[in-house]
Amino acid sequence: MNRIVEKFARLKREGKKGFIIYIGAGDPNLEVTRQLALAFDRAGVDVLELGVPFSDPLADGLVNQLAAQRGLESGTTPPKVLETVAAIRNESQLPIVLYIYFNLVHRYGVERFINEAAKAGVDGLLVLDLPPEESEDYEVLMRNAGLCHIYLVAPTTPDDRIEMIVKRGTGFIYHVSREGVTGMQQKVSDTISQMTAKIRAHTELPIAVGFGISTPEQARLAASKSDAVVVGSAVVDKIARFGKSGDLVTKVVEFTKSLVVAIKEG
């Protein structure tokens, strides 16, 4: 069974909420990415999203744009990200999703990339700029490789399109709780309950809420309205702050544990 599917099935049985962390692969380098993944697993993170660095990350706010830039500067490429995932798999079965732009997949070769991602130990892809209307061949290839194809639903997504998107997604549905790009916010969106209800009307897939969730308090609130919470920019900001220090992993995991407690224990 796919690790993402298995993880959410276990969380449901245990009556627990999921915690998904996003970091930029190769920020500050891929060895640190590997170390962080293993530390996140030990800390209680349920799914890891690895952002594959891209020169034009249009869905990302400044914090994650800078992480992508640092990843590119450290020499991170899609093949090297897959090598890092394979290295993580030597020690961990933490479900891993690649957060990636379609240009990179297309350049690599769609079928080749999907097959090599599966072989490396990737569990799902979240292709930011590939709309479901144009992804039939992609979905077939993903199913054949045993990978989850994860789609986004935004606050501005029309009701009829929500139905179409969520019926085609697998693994979980990622609800983007705010309009615009990723980034830390002062408060959680007040439309989460309304949007999760709309999504839930068309699917039994877990609903993960992300974009703008930055503190344990915000994570706790978002968890009460969804099946899982995604935290990205706040963690990436810690990596940027401690990137040159020897205790980067310790500092980032310390913050991560505060989020785990908030989401798991409410």
| Residues involved in catalysis | 49, 60
Q: Are 124 and 100 in contact (CB under 8 A)?
A: no
Determine the length of the chain. Answer: 266
Can you tell me which residue has the tokens 């609800």? 175
Sign for the CA dihedral angle at 81, 90, 141, 49 comes to negative
Nearest to 228 by CA among 10, 6, 11, 5: 11
Terminal CA-CA length for the chain = 29
3-state secondary structure of 101: coil
Q: Are 37 and 94 in contact (CB under 8 A)?
A: yes
Task: Please give the Cα distance from 113 to 204 (Å, whole number).
Answer: 29
Sign for the CA dihedral angle at 167, 191, 9, 112 comes to positive
